[in-house]
Amino acid sequence: MLSVYRNMFKIRDLRTKILFTLGILALYRFGTAVPVPGVDADAVSVLAQTARDQGFLGLLNLFSGGALERMSVFALGIMPYITATIIMQLLTVVIPKLQALQEEGESGQKVITQWTRYTTVGLALLQAASFTQLLHQGSFGGIDLIPDFTVRNVTLIIITWTAGTALIMWLGELITQRGVGNGMSLIIFISIVSQLPSQFGVLKASALAYQFWSIVLLMFVLTVGIIFVDQGQRRIPIQFSRRVRGRKVLGGGATYIPLKVNMAGVIPVIFATSVMYFPVLVASALPPTGWGQTVRDWINDNLLQSGVGGLSPTLPYIAMLALLVVAFTYFYTAIQFDPVQQADRIQRQGGFIPGIRPGRATVRYLETVLSRITLPGSLYLALVAVAPSILGWLYSVPVGLSGVSILIVTGVALETMKQIESQLMMRNYEGFLS
């Protein structure tokens, strides 16, 4: 294993990419500690405890790497970008013009990416404005973080937070283009990893010894299971017909289409988690009396990640998260793999699936195989996402490091290792998995 790390830094191009990625991530972590101007610094320390106790704040704090509880310039984190990506992918399915752009390849994808950036900035602006108002009203823990609520001060805070989100988006794109791995995923990865010590500390302080170690054991088993399932795939054989031109025989041979059990990766989990905070955000903006208070109480008691008083996850939260993970798995798998396009591509290349007629029969076969893989894959993702939360509900203890965190950390680590592995194998070096 040590030789693999030595080989990583022997290759100049790979070494440059790794150091560039680490440098960008270090810059991101530095930004999470830079306080936003105009916020009461004394009240921020009180909010730090509130952020760990309330589900909405805890969720945002997790994805921002602790930037929220410090009220830093990166307090909004990557959530506006995730939301913008969800919106654009949903619109791509329902708007023919966007679907045509996606099918144009790299040029069309550039246009969609640009629109995603604009949407991210717009959402960050709206979220910063609403969040500033909520913090001034003391909606979280009754703490007024912005006592100087003037137009000048509020404008400065909103612009700073919006610019911080835009900077995070740019840093993520830089990693994707010039570094190793997916930039946005690595930013979420480093944000979650930075919170691990405090999350384990809270769990150990709240749970009995057997409860703590049983949860740790479950997390270890889930990590091993994620790695095992990630390697699983269904291989669909493809045979290419031979063509004779003069004295030459062209074509022939065989290959396969690898369909992974978990084709969607960790994206459905990230999407589902980001959607879960919308009801709580809406509840925070409702009036604190009458029907508004009734709705707020129901959402706070049922849809918070940490339940009432931050004690443990609630069953409605667990059920809703599982359903969203399953739904997004089907949705994202359908985007990634289109049986109609795949069957047409196979036919145009002169290939066929043994025993299956080209054309519509191939499409039906691919749809059947895909559905058989997606169902267990989606249930697997949902189970891993909610398993620690179920144990936390049974024990009535807070489980800050949820299955969502485990899936994201393990999935991103595996994908990054595979990219480094491919770079090493191209140069005949031994890799992590070989």
422 against 289, higher pLDDT:
422
Q: Does pLDDT of 54 surpass 60?
A: no
Retrieve residue 362's tokens. Answer: 């191939």
pLDDT band for position 335 (cuts 50, 70, 90)? confident
Contact 206, 321 (CB under 8 A): no
Strands (E), 193-288: 233-240, 242-245, 248-251, 254-260
244 against 102, higher pLDDT:
102
Q: Does pLDDT of 260 surpass 60?
A: yes
Strands 242-245, 233-240: pairing is unpaired
340-364 pLDDT, tens digit each? 888 888 888 778 888 888 888 888 9
Q: Would you state the pLDDT for residue 6?
A: 72
Fold classification of 1-194 is: Preprotein translocase SecY subunit (1.10.3370)
Query: What integer best gives the mean pLDDT of the chain?
Result: 80
Q: Would you state the pLDDT for residue 125?
A: 92
Q: Does pLDDT of 65 surpass 70?
A: no
Q: Would you state the pLDDT for residue 63?
A: 62
Q: Would you state the pLDDT for residue 1?
A: 59
Q: Would you state the pLDDT for residue 307?
A: 42
Q: Would you state the pLDDT for residue 310?
A: 43
138-160 pLDDT, tens digit each? 666 667 778 778 888 889 999 99
What mean pLDDT comes out for the span 96-111?
A: 82
Q: Would you state the pLDDT for residue 294?
A: 79
Q: Does pLDDT of 69 surpass 90?
A: no
219-236 pLDDT, tens digit each? 888 888 888 888 888 888
297-324 pLDDT, tens digit each? 777 666 665 443 344 567 787 888 889 9
pLDDT band for position 46 (cuts 50, 70, 90)? low
pLDDT band for position 163 (cuts 50, 70, 90)? very high
Q: Which helix (H) or strand (E) holds 322?
A: helix 315-336
- Torsion angle, alpha carbons of 406, 408, 410, 414, to 10: 170
Q: Would you state the pLDDT for residue 93?
A: 77
55 against 292, higher pLDDT:
292
Q: Does pLDDT of 292 surpass 80?
A: no
Q: Would you state the pLDDT for residue 172?
A: 93
Q: Any residues with CB less than 8 A from the CB of 316 and at least 6 apart, and which?
A: 302, 303
CA 300 to chain centroid: 24
Neighbours of 96 (CB within 10 A): 8
Q: Does pLDDT of 21 surpass 90?
A: yes
Q: Would you state the pLDDT for residue 431?
A: 59
User: Among 16-20, 173-177, 281-285, 423-427, whose mean pLDDT is lowest?
Assistant: 281-285
Start-to-end C-alpha separation, the chain = 11
Q: Would you state the pLDDT for residue 159?
A: 94
358-389 pLDDT, tens digit each? 888 888 999 999 988 998 889 988 888 888 77
Which amino acid is it at 48? A
Q: What angle do CA 257, 87, 369 make, to 5 degrees?
A: 25
Q: Would you state the pLDDT for residue 169?
A: 93
Which amino acid is it at 271? F
Classify domain 199-401 at the CATH class level: mainly alpha
Q: Does pLDDT of 401 surpass 80?
A: no
Sequence spans of domains, the chain: 1-194, 199-401
The proportion of the chain whose per-residue pLDDT surpasses 90, expressed as a percent, equals: 13
